[in-house]
Amino acid sequence: MKKVHNFNAGPCVLPKQAVESAIEAIRDFDGTGIGLLEISHRTPGWERVMAETEQLWIELLGIPAGYKVLFLGGGASTQFFMVAANLLNKKAAYLQTGVWAKKAVKEAKMFGEVEVVASSEDRTYCYIPKNYTIPTDADYFHITTNNTIYGTEIKYDMDCPINLVADMSSDIMSRPVDVSKYALIYGGAQKNVGPAGVTFVIVREDVLGKVERQMSTMVDYRTHIPESSMFNTPPVFPIFVMHETLKWVKELGGLEVMHKMNNDKADLLYNEIDRNKMFVGTADKEDRSIMNICFVMAEGYKDKEADFMAFAKERGMVGIKGHRSVGGFRASTYNACPKESVQALVDCMQEFEKLNA
């Protein structure tokens, strides 16, 4: 089999041991003789997996008392309106740093006033806005910590005068997080913590039940908390893979170790982009993402884009084409992307430079 290096932005590369465990569980879950895809979610073995998965989240992120972890369907895009439905009573504030943040703003406007405190749309979202003021009369302030399309990232836990809400779809579990600084964290699993099909929500319980509107049963987070995310049938398969993926993170040493590994991978590729005269990074250096590394052909070499794409594909690089809205290249170096793959991409860029510069 040809060696491939998976840089897809999501669904993305998974730990090999998580994939192997999932294959075995599909054949026979927990020694029951019934496959994971056929098992009842009321089976004791499955209830144990749910409890263990929640405990892994609590342990790895150091989630304090007063918070609940939920595993829901619908993707992060569903959370764009669920967050507002549960938390927006009069007004919310948003930082607009990319397409997904903009979509979150659109959904929130259906529930009340939304103030966009700052936006980087003026420069195609290639930076994180600075020196903005968070309105203290807002119910919450929403940020998107990592912007997959444009390769920018908020790499710290900010102090916020009001409830802080974060979409961490594409950088959760990539670094330690001070959860106590957030009222709510959410995201899709398909970047760092599993396959598509399940969404995580970490919510501080005391922020719920404050809105004046009536909510649909499934939209209300308070429906799912007492039922341990099993008010209805949960997305069993992706939760199982999440469980196995988080076990892998823990076995590696947790988020401090994972953060160092991710920084090492990002530094390796960014150093080559900055050195190689044929390529240039698209995000401001101070705001560069360690999850999604975006770059284009440099001036004088733009006619070589298709050639490099074909050259890289021949050498096993998969998923490096930039998002259709911006073009160029994007290497997503999520947790399970091995450093060897990043080195292979660097070697490919160096070889292309020798042949074409």
Query: DSSP string covering 175-211, please?
Result: S---GGG-SEEEEESTTTTS-TT-EEEEEEGGGTT--
Answer yes or no: 109 catalytic.
no
Give me the residue label for tokens 């510069």: 357
Distances (CA, A) of 193 to 12, 188, 239, 248: 10, 9, 9, 10
HSE toward the beta carbon, residue 357, CA cutoff 13 A: 14
Of the candidates 57, 100, 171, 265, the residue annotated as catalytic is: 100
Rounded to the nearest angstrom, the gap between the alpha carbon of residue 96 and the centroid of all alpha carbons in its chain is 17
CA dist., res. 170 & res. 147, Å (int): 8
> If DSSP codes are grouped into helix, strand and coil, which group holds residue 152?
strand
Q: CA 184, 188, 192: angle at the middle one, nearest 5? A: 105
Of the candidates 68, 155, 171, 191, the residue annotated as catalytic is: 191
Q: Quick one: 162 exposed, middle or buried, by C-beta within 10 A (0-12, 13-18, 19+)? A: middle
Please give the structure tokens belonging to residue 170.
Answer: 């594409």
How far does the chain reach from its first CA to its final CA, in angstroms? 32
CA dist., res. 134 & res. 142, Å (int): 10
Quick one: how many helices (H) and strands (E) in the chain?
9, 14
Could you tell me where the beta strands, DSSP code E, fall in the chain? 5-6, 67-72, 91-96, 113-119, 141-144, 146-147, 152-153, 164-167, 184-188, 199-204, 279-281, 292-297, 317-318, 329-332
Answer yes or no: 167 catalytic.
yes
Answer yes or no: 347 catalytic.
no
> If DSSP codes are grouped into helix, strand and coil, which group holds residue 348?
helix
> If DSSP codes are grouped into helix, strand and coil, which group holds residue 264?
helix
Of the candidates 46, 57, 167, 171, the residue annotated as catalytic is: 167
Enzyme catalytic residues:
100, 167, 191
